[in-house]
Structure 1
Amino acid sequence: MKRDQFIKSFLFAGTALCILPQLSFGYSEENYSRDILIGKGTPNLLGDSFKMQQESYENFLLMKAAAAKENINIEVVSAYRSFRRQKEIYEGKYRRFTAQGMNPMAAIEKIIEYSTIPGTSRHHWGTDIDIIDANAPRPQSVLQPEHFHGKGPFCKLKDWLDQNAESFGFFEVYTDNAHRKGFKYEPWHFSYAPVSKPMLEEYKKLDLKKILLEEKILGAQHFSEEFISTYKSENILDINSKLLS
């Protein structure tokens, strides 16, 4: 069901919220402080098992309800993630890979195939989600590209998202594009564009190297100017063009 049709029926039932993308209940650009942008602030988040900014969250609920009509139960595996949590993930991998004999830069390059350096994750913004279909058989490791294609359990979800997600403001971030660099293809990762686009514009103004050194991230002493420049252009900015201003 397309978004316009869904909203009309929702309003007719008298239960819809006024949460169209053009109406913003999130932060204005003035509120996108350094700490908010790197996951160390205290954003106004909604949700129980997962957290999102209000506008992102409420439009996600509309999308989830529309998908449910097609017997698709969108489950959020990950949404808002704090700097502290991302640091735990990143440094856990860094310690494991270096203990296995990798040199620091090889470990970092391995980590950033899928995981972000803390302070640089889109999940810090409360706009991005990793999703699966809870009605499908659950594989042991759910976030694998093959599960969303061919005969994978989440093919029905992927097909539905391809047709409908953008009408709710959600866009796939790391697309299956042979010319795209940075993070590998993630068919499960979607971003709520009306909020994440202005947040990215504010994020681009930050001094990334200064932040990474100030926050004492494990291995940060190996982040050269060249590495930071490449990471910013490939991992942060080489994304779905519809999420760029």
Structure 2
Amino acid sequence: MLSEYLADLLLVDRYQDYTPNGLQVAGKKNIQRIVFGVTASMDLIEAAIAKQADAIIVHHGYFWKNESPVVTGMKQRRLKALLQNDINLYAYHLPLDGHEQLGNNAQLAGLWQIDNPAPVRTDSLLWIGDMPNETLGEASDGLSSGSSSDLLGSSLADFADRVASTLARTPQVIAGGEHRIQRIAWCSGAAQSMIEAAKAEGADAFVSGEISEQTVHFARENGIHYIAAGHHATERGGVSALAQHLQAILALDCCFIDCANPV
């Protein structure tokens, strides 16, 4: 059964989460076509209906801690559309951030070509790794043909360009000095408060999705660069990788749909 397979794959029982992980809305029993997306928005539901999907799998589902339990307004419209079309909704929040192969943080490490990426602890969503050294070939500074010179890590500007090109979104960059980036920490989504832990782990820079007013001051006053790369943008990788996995392993018809979000 799909629920059990995903629970085992994503190590759901490991996490104390803010929302239920797994099947959130039951639909038809036979599942062959699945639409994947970051958030179970009405845009994604309508796209799934148009594709005659049997299920939707997302990172951001419903029934969050402390949200109102009443089924009105936007919640009613979304649930009505799912139920009327007999579409299952599955959601995986923290498990799809932390998974060491398919998770958002693991996918970002691959996009940004980070060496030795790993969570700082097995129970942590904060990841850390090393920026590869930049190598210069023949240049105007007199290097002979075929020689090379290594610059440790990456400049902040070069890494920000890498983030922009891989996520198709211009990040907000706060410089915490003029130093290059050798050790880098990151966590997808709204994890800007982890900048303190990133600094304690010896990171030269920290990347997350969002930024708060106090994040700017901490970065500047503690000598750590901060890059806000976008909540949505940093959390596309996990569901997309999960779609590819299920299609390859279970031979399901899987399609990732990116409903654009500028945040």
TM-score (norm: length of structure 2) = 0.27
* More strand, by proportion: 2
Instruction: Kindly indicate whether structure 1 or structure 2 has the higher relative contact order, using CA contacts under 8 Å at least 6 residues apart.
Output: 1
